[in-house]
C-alpha cells in the first residue's frame, strides 16, 4: 500500500510533507533555529490555523459577521483611497 500511495500521491519536494507526520513541521538545518521558527510562523500564517482558532472562540451571529466584514471593507477602501491620493496628488 505504501508504494501505491507514493505513486498516486506525488508531492512537490519544496513542501515539507511526510505521510508519517501530521500537521505543520519545519526541519532545522545547520542549527538555524531562528530561521526554522520564521518558516514555521509563515506556514502557520498561510494555513490560517490561528485565524480559525480565533473565529471559533465565540459564536458570532451572521448579522454581526456582515457588519464586521462591511467595516473591514470600508477600512480597506479608505486605505486605498489615501494611498492613491498620496501617489497621484489628488
pLDDT digits (tens, 9 = 90+) for 50-78: 989 998 999 999 999 999 999 999 999 99
Q: Are 18 and 10 in contact (CB under 8 A)?
A: no
C-alpha cell at position 29:
538545518
18 Cβ neighbours under 8 A, 6+ residues apart: 25
Q: Model's pTM, two decimal places?
A: 0.49
C-alpha cell at position 75:
477600512
Q: Indicate the domain borders of the chain.
A: 1-58, 59-90
Would you place residue 25 in the very low, low, confident or very high pLDDT band (cuts 50, 70, 90)? confident
Burial of 86 (0-12, 13-18, 19+ CB in 10 A): exposed
Amino acid at each position: 500500500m505504501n508504494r501505491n500511495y507514493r505513486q498516486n500521491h506525488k508531492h512537490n519536494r519544496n513542501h515539507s510533507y511526510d505521510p508519517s507526520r501530521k500537521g505543520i513541521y519545519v526541519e532545522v538545518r545547520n542549527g538555524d533555529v531562528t530561521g526554522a521558527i520564521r518558516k514555521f510562523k509563515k506556514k502557520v500564517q498561510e494555513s490560517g490555523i490561528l485565524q480559525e482558532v480565533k473565529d471559533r472562540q465565540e459564536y458570532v451571529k451572521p448579522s454581526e459577521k456582515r457588519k464586521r466584514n462591511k467595516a473591514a471593507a470600508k477600512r480597506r477602501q479608505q486605505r486605498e483611497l489615501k494611498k492613491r491620493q498620496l501617489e497621484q496628488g489628488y
